[in-house]
Amino acid sequence: MVSIILIAIIAAVGAAGYLFYRSRRHDARNIRTSASAAGWRGDPTGRHEARYWDGAAWTTQVRTGGVNTTDPL
């Protein structure tokens, strides 16, 4: 009887650990995806309000005072 209870406890702990691992892996994947998504971000050079991130690199497209222009990095 004790061995059946022990097996059940081990199985429950293993299942909980697996579910925790899967949730953490999923969260990390979402963070990477959202961080690399294309869009307007604060200009890393500080010369403009925003610069466009294309998902892989900063572009020459900038925005200051709601006006879009270009400015090389």
Report pLDDT digits (tens) over 39-65: 999 999 999 999 999 999 999 999 999
pLDDT for 3: 79
| 64 and 47 inside one domain | yes
Neighbours of 68 (CB within 10 A): 12
| 22 and 6 inside one domain | yes
pTM of the model: 0.52
Domain that holds residue 65: 38-73
| 31 and 48 inside one domain | no
SS3 24: helix
| 50 and 65 inside one domain | yes
Counted domains in the chain: 2
Q: Annotate 2-15 with b (16+ C-beta within 10 A) or e (fewer).
A: eeeeeeeeeeeeee
| 1 and 21 inside one domain | yes
SS3 44: coil
Q: Identify which of 72, 70, 33, 27 has the alpha carbon closest to the alpha carbon of residue 55.
A: 33
